[in-house]
């Protein structure tokens, strides 16, 4: 943390967008601002890619247009989330200083012409960028329209891993600070293997493309270094802004399925408010459940405090192989899923659809078709709905289930030489989350080592890398009476990516009561049968129970006859373990059973299958609660609730009917909240 946090305050739920007026002429700005008023937009991110406009030549600033746009927005009562304009260096900078261009692992430079064409470790880039930040902060730091600073944009989206000589130099410095001596580094990276021992610091390089598999310890530290470098860059911008402005500062995270390079657990404490960009990834089997997971993880980063959804899309994106349009109503469902899970702001990329540039086929709030479009009407509808939900702002989600998530496990579990390329860390995380979500449980996503005392159930999917200390926070909690599910590929390596020996799961071994000898991955597409009638996929292990009760064995496959599902009484708690990836239904059944054992309740009682619903409750400190129900299904759902539904403004006297595809938010009648819980989670 570089300075005490400043609070971002807003009247109700913020509704906004990225706005790129530089792509349009001033007469369009007036129309834009009028339409923003019609939609209820009240927070606009500006100047994200402004560098070449603000500083057309080195040291020569031109703020005329930005002054004008900010003033127009201010006159319309719209607040500004002001970009520092450093997201993409101008052509004059990369021409004068081609050494700032990032280098890929194969040693080739990346040319300008896209965006983020800079090495995060480049002092030349930093110097030029910070001069601009100083000028922008000086000029707008006290402007009454500016409500939030937006540092750069999605730091590390394209350039997180740079392999140039400047990065090599910075990497060595980082390693010297971490290890002190070359002996310690050689030990940590296991360089005795393949004659990799370093005799001088100058021999160390980033993990550039090699002929064979690279050193995984080096790759892990390069990930850590790269994440730290960008955080350091964020801090450098913040240090320039703080003395010039009292406005809170943040940057937009990318908590999403396809970006893995930043360890946001180490970043989050620096943000005055956590902000996230999320796009549905239709390459995933279940994009909306991933959305729920990402929103819960963002809330975890925010330590439960409300956060901002800084970007998502009204419809299709432009960067997937197939860019699906949203179904009618999906925009509202997506947006309110974020709000249900703690967002106090819903913003989009972008306001008006571009007609030029590589994002011209990306959806926007105001589409190419203009206001005579279903999409625009949905945008207007969303704005009106958010207005009705203003009173929810500031409330928090209360969860009794925690799931442990780790970027370091993501990086290391997906190492290039591993037992099976057919399963990744996120596959395990998403599968476990889906199983909990299907029961309507409220789930907090926490970092390894987090205090677990508030939870009834902890799920630890594939926590490949874990320190002894962080594992102890989990096993001590179990010992003291907690119930946990730990899944395969957990506790495999320590902080140095060195394997724990003596039977896999290392620091979880005693809690699990298992001696695991060998991984035996399952061929993709083949299901293994378990003795309890369920099936598993992709993984099995050869193990024996030491103290655990074997709940199910593998009936066939490479580990036939051996434990597949176990439960160990540990202290006064219970540690469950699955040695395979259960099929979706099996996983839901398993977590239903474990949740029931742990006394975990669904957020609300429903008629039928809660799997197609989002059920989340937000609570104000004064005890006022809001039950969010998002119905992804085609059929109406019935949920037990009492109070006033805020979107339809109707009373709810016991049963809330949520039409297929609709969203409802009930301000619950005080005193009845406990009564609407089921005593037990659904079967
Ligand atoms: C990111 C960026 C935006 C835009 C969108 C498109 O979120 O921050 O500038 O490129 O992706 O989806």
Whole-Å CA distances, 416 to 410, 411, 422, 487, 539: 12, 10, 12, 21, 17
As beta bridge partners, residue 41 has none
First to last CA, the chain: 45
Contact partners, residue 670, CB within 8 Å, separation at least 6: 623, 624
Q: Is residue 282 part of a domain?
A: yes
Contact partners, residue 127, CB within 8 Å, separation at least 6: none
Distance of alpha carbon 577 from alpha carbon 404, whole angstroms? 15
Tally the C-alpha atoms within 13 A of residue 271's C-alpha that lie toward its C-beta. 24
| Pair (318, 364) in one structural domain | yes
CB 283 within 8 A of CB 323: no
154 is catalytic: yes
End position of a domain, from candidates 394, 422, 441: 394
As beta bridge partners, residue 46 has 82
How many folded domains does the chain comprise?
A: 3
| Pair (498, 368) in one structural domain | no
Q: Which residue has its alpha carbon closest to ligand 1 atom 5?
A: 349
CA of 254 to the centre of ligand 1 (A): 10
Q: What is the pLDDT of residues 511-542, one digit of tens each?
A: 999 999 999 999 999 999 999 999 999 999 99
CB 563 within 8 A of CB 514: yes
Question: 679 falls in which pLDDT band (50, 70, 90)?
Answer: very low
CB 44 within 8 A of CB 19: yes
Q: Is the distance from the beta carbon of residue 272 to the nearest atom of ligand 1 less than 6 Å?
A: no
408 is catalytic: no
CA of 357 to the centre of ligand 1 (A): 13
Closest by Cα among 231, 249, 41 to 140: 249
Q: What is residue 142's three-state secondary structure? A: coil
CB 115 within 8 A of CB 88: yes
Q: What is the pLDDT of residues 568-596, one digit of tens each?
A: 999 999 999 999 999 999 999 999 999 99
Contact partners, residue 377, CB within 8 Å, separation at least 6: none
Q: Is the distance from the beta carbon of residue 444 to the nearest atom of ligand 1 less than 6 Å?
A: no
* pLDDT score of 683 more than 50: no
From the list 55, 154, 237, 614, the catalytic residue is 154
CA of 365 to the centre of ligand 1 (A): 14
Distance of alpha carbon 151 from alpha carbon 84, whole angstroms? 5
Ligand 1, atom nearest to 252 Cα: 8
Q: What is residue 443's three-state secondary structure? A: strand
CB 207 within 8 A of CB 218: yes
Question: 499 falls in which pLDDT band (50, 70, 90)?
Answer: very high
As beta bridge partners, residue 16 has 43, 347
Mean pLDDT is lowest, of 16-30, 602-616, 642-656, 667-681, for 667-681
Mutate to test the pocket of ligand 1, among 349, 358, 362 (most ligand atoms within 8 A of CB): 349
Q: Is residue 589 part of a domain?
A: yes
* pLDDT score of 681 more than 60: no
CA of 141 to the centre of ligand 1 (A): 25
Q: Is the distance from the beta carbon of residue 311 to the nearest atom of ligand 1 less than 6 Å?
A: yes
CA of 349 to the centre of ligand 1 (A): 6
Q: Is the distance from the beta carbon of residue 317 to the nearest atom of ligand 1 less than 6 Å?
A: yes
Whole-Å CA distances, 387 to 299, 391, 671: 22, 9, 26
| Pair (389, 491) in one structural domain | no
Q: Is the distance from the beta carbon of residue 253 to the nearest atom of ligand 1 less than 6 Å?
A: no
Distance of alpha carbon 582 from alpha carbon 461, whole angstroms? 12
| Pair (107, 74) in one structural domain | yes
| Pair (558, 621) in one structural domain | no
Q: What is the pLDDT of residues 147-156, one digit of tens each?
A: 999 999 999 9
Q: How confident is the model over 155-184, as a mean pLDDT? A: 98
Query: Peptide bond before 211: cis, by omega within 30 degrees of 0?
Result: no
Kind plus residue range of the DSSP H or E element containing 247:
none
CA of 622 to the centre of ligand 1 (A): 38
Q: What is residue 130's three-state secondary structure? A: helix
What pLDDT was estimated at residue 337? 98
Q: How far is CA 444 from the centre of its chain?
A: 12
End position of a domain, from candidates 364, 394, 424: 394
Q: How far is CA 661 from the centre of its chain?
A: 25
| Pair (469, 553) in one structural domain | yes
Kind plus residue range of the DSSP H or E element containing 276:
strand 275-277
Question: 607 falls in which pLDDT band (50, 70, 90)?
Answer: confident
From the list 166, 311, 605, 614, the catalytic residue is 311
* pLDDT score of 218 more than 70: yes
Q: Is residue 350 part of a domain?
A: yes
Q: CATH number of the domain that 267 lies in?
A: 3.20.20.80
Mutate to test the pocket of ligand 1, among 278, 311, 365 (most ligand atoms within 8 A of CB): 311
Q: Which residue has its alpha carbon closest to ligand 1 atom 2?
A: 154
Q: Is the distance from the beta carbon of residue 237 to the nearest atom of ligand 1 less than 6 Å?
A: no
Q: What is the pLDDT of residues 3-41, one digit of tens each?
A: 567 899 999 999 999 999 999 999 999 999 999 999 999
Per-residue three-class SS string for 73-126: HHHCCCEEEEECCCCCCCHHHHHHCHHHCCECCCCCECCCCCCCCCCCCCHHHH
CB 310 within 8 A of CB 45: yes
**Model-level pTM?**
0.97
Distance of alpha carbon 462 from alpha carbon 441, whole angstroms? 20
Contact partners, residue 568, CB within 8 Å, separation at least 6: 511, 512, 513, 514, 545, 547, 548, 549, 574, 575, 576, 577
Sheet with strand 443-446: strands edge to edge? 443-446, 401-404, 457-460, 483-487, 573-578, 563-570, 549-553
Q: CATH number of the domain that 517 lies in?
A: 3.40.50.880
Q: Is the distance from the beta carbon of residue 349 to the nearest atom of ligand 1 less than 6 Å?
A: yes
Q: What is the pLDDT of residues 375-404, one digit of tens each?
A: 999 999 999 999 999 999 999 999 999 999
| Pair (439, 566) in one structural domain | yes
Q: What is residue 72's three-state secondary structure? A: helix
Q: Is residue 291 part of a domain?
A: yes
Q: Which residue has its alpha carbon closest to ligand 1 atom 9?
A: 349
| Pair (361, 214) in one structural domain | yes
Q: Is residue 296 part of a domain?
A: yes
Q: Which residue has its alpha carbon closest to ligand 1 atom 3?
A: 349
Q: Is residue 441 part of a domain?
A: yes
Distance of alpha carbon 413 from alpha carbon 139, whole angstroms? 47
Q: Is the distance from the beta carbon of residue 338 to the nearest atom of ligand 1 less than 6 Å?
A: no
Question: 673 falls in which pLDDT band (50, 70, 90)?
Answer: very low
End position of a domain, from candidates 394, 418, 434: 394
Q: What angle is formed at CA 73 by the lines to CA 71 and CA 78, rounded to 5 degrees?
A: 130
Q: Is the distance from the beta carbon of residue 125 to the nearest atom of ligand 1 less than 6 Å?
A: no
Q: How confident is the model over 479-491, as a mean pLDDT? A: 98
Mutate to test the pocket of ligand 1, among 17, 359, 364 (most ligand atoms within 8 A of CB): 359
CA of 339 to the centre of ligand 1 (A): 20
Q: Which residue has its alpha carbon closest to ligand 1 atom 4?
A: 349
Q: CATH number of the domain that 663 lies in?
A: 2.60.40.1180
Q: Which residue has its alpha carbon closest to ligand 1 atom 11?
A: 349
Closest by Cα among 211, 253, 210 to 231: 253
Q: Is residue 8 part of a domain?
A: no
Q: Is residue 238 part of a domain?
A: yes
Distance of alpha carbon 502 from alpha carbon 525, whole angstroms? 31
Give the mean pLDDT of the chain. Answer: 96
Q: What is residue 437's three-state secondary structure? A: helix
Closest by Cα among 669, 660, 419, 679 to 539: 419
What pLDDT was estimated at residue 559? 98
Ligand 1, atom nearest to 277 Cα: 7
Q: Is the distance from the beta carbon of residue 19 to the nearest atom of ligand 1 less than 6 Å?
A: no
Whole-Å CA distances, 509 to 2, 125, 432, 541, 625: 39, 48, 20, 14, 41
| Pair (422, 519) in one structural domain | yes
* pLDDT score of 674 more than 60: no
| Start-end of H helices in 324-406 | 330-340, 374-388
CA of 272 to the centre of ligand 1 (A): 22
Q: What angle is formed at CA 381 by the lines to CA 376 and CA 385, rounded to 5 degrees?
A: 150
**Residue-range definition of the domain harbouring residue 69:** 14-163+206-394
| Pair (224, 358) in one structural domain | yes
Count of all residues that appear for the chain in the document: 683
CA of 333 to the centre of ligand 1 (A): 21
| Pair (570, 652) in one structural domain | no
| Pair (144, 95) in one structural domain | yes
Per-residue three-class SS string for 551-606: EEEECCCCCCCCEEEEEEEECCEEEEEECCEECHHHHHHHHHHHHHHHCCCCCCCE
Q: How many helices (H) and strands (E) does the chain have?
A: 17, 28
Per-residue three-class SS string for 152-207: CCCCCCCCCCCCCHHHHHHHHHHHHHHHCCHHHHHHHHCCCHHHCCCCCHHHCCCC
Q: How far is CA 285 from the centre of its chain?
A: 18
């Amino acid at each position: 943390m570089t300075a005490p946090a400043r609070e971002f305050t807003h009247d109700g739920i913020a509704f906004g967008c990225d706005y790129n007026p530089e792509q349009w002429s001033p007469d369009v700005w007036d129309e834009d601002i009028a339409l923003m008023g019609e939609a209820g937009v009240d927070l606009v991110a500006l100047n994200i890619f402004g560098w070449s406009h603000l500083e057309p030549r080195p040291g020569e600033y031109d703020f005329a247009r930005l002054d004008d746009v900010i003033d127009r927005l201010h006159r319309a009562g719209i607040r500004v989330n002001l970009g520092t304009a450093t997201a993409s260096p101008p052509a004059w900078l990369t021409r004068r200083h081609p050494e700032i261009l990032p280098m890929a692992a194969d040693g080739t430079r990346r040319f300008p012409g896209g965006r983020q064409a800079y090495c995060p470790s480049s002092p030349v880039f930093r110097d030029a960028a910070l001069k601009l930040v100083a000028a922008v902060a000086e000029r707008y730091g006290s402007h009454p329209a500016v409500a939030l600073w937006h540092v750069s944009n999605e730091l590390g989206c394209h350039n997180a891993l740079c392999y140039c000589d400047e990065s090599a130099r910075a990497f060595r410095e980082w390693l010297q600070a971490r290890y002190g001596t070359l002996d310690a580094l050689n030990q940590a990276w296991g360089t005795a293997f393949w004659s990799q021992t370093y005799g001088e610091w100058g021999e160390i390089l980033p993990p550039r493309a090699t002929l064979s598999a690279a050193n995984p310890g080096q790759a892990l530290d390069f990930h850590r270094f790269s994440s730290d470098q960008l955080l350091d860059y964020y801090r450098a911008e913040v240090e320039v802004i703080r003395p010039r402005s009292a406005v809170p500062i943040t940057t937009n995270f990318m908590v999403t399925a396809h970006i893995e390079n930043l360890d946001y657990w180490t970043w989050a404490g620096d943000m005055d408010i956590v902000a996230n960009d999320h796009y549905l990834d239709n390459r995933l089997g279940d994009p909306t459940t991933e959305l729920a997971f990402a929103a819960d993880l963002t809330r975890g980063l925010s330590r439960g405090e409300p956060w901002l959804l800084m970007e998502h899309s009204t419809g299709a994106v432009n960067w997937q192989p197939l860019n699906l349009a949203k179904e009618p109503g999906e925009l509202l469902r997506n947006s309110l899923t974020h709000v249900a899970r703690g967002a106090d702001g819903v913003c989009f990329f972008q306001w008006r659809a571009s007609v030029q540039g590589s994002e011209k086929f990306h959806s926007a709030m105001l589409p190419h078709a203009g206001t005579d479009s279903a999409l625009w009407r949905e945008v207007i509808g969303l704005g009106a709905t958010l207005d009705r939900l203003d009173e929810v702002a500031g409330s928090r989600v209360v969860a009794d289930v925690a799931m442990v998530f780790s970027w370091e496990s993501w990086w290391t579990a997906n190492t290039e030489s591993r037992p099976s390329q057919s399963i990744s860390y996120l596959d395990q995380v998403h599968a476990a989350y889906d199983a909990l979500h299907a029961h309507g449980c409220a789930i907090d996503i926490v970092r390894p080592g987090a205090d677990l005392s508030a939870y009834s159930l902890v799920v630890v999917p594939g926590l490949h890398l874990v320190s002894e200390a962080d594992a102890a926070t989990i096993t001590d909690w179990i010992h003291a009476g907690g119930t946990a599910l730990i899944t395969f590929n957990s506790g495999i390596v320590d902080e140095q990516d060195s394997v724990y020996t003596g039977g896999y799961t290392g620091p979880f071994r005693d809690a699990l009561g298992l001696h695991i000898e060998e991984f035996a991955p399952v061929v993709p597409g083949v299901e293994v049968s378990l003795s309890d009638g369920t099936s598993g996929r992709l993984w099995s292990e050869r193990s024996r129970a030491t103290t655990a009760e074997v709940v199910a064995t593998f009936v066939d496959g490479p580990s036939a006859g051996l434990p597949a599902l176990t439960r160990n009484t540990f202290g006064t708690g219970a540690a469950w373990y699955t040695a395979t990836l259960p099929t979706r239904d099996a996983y839901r059944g398993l977590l239903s059973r474990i949740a029931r054992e742990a006394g975990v309740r669904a957020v609300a009682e429903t008629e039928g299958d809660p799997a197609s619903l989002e059920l989340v409750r937000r609570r104000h400190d004064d005890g006022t609660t809001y039950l969010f129900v998002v119905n992804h299904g085609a059929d109406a759902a019935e949920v037990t609730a009492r109070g006033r539904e805020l979107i339809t403004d109707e009373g709810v006297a016991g049963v809330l009917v949520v039409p297929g595809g609709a969203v409802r938010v009930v301000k619950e009648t005080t005193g009845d909240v406990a009564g609407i819980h089921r005593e037990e989670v659904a079967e």
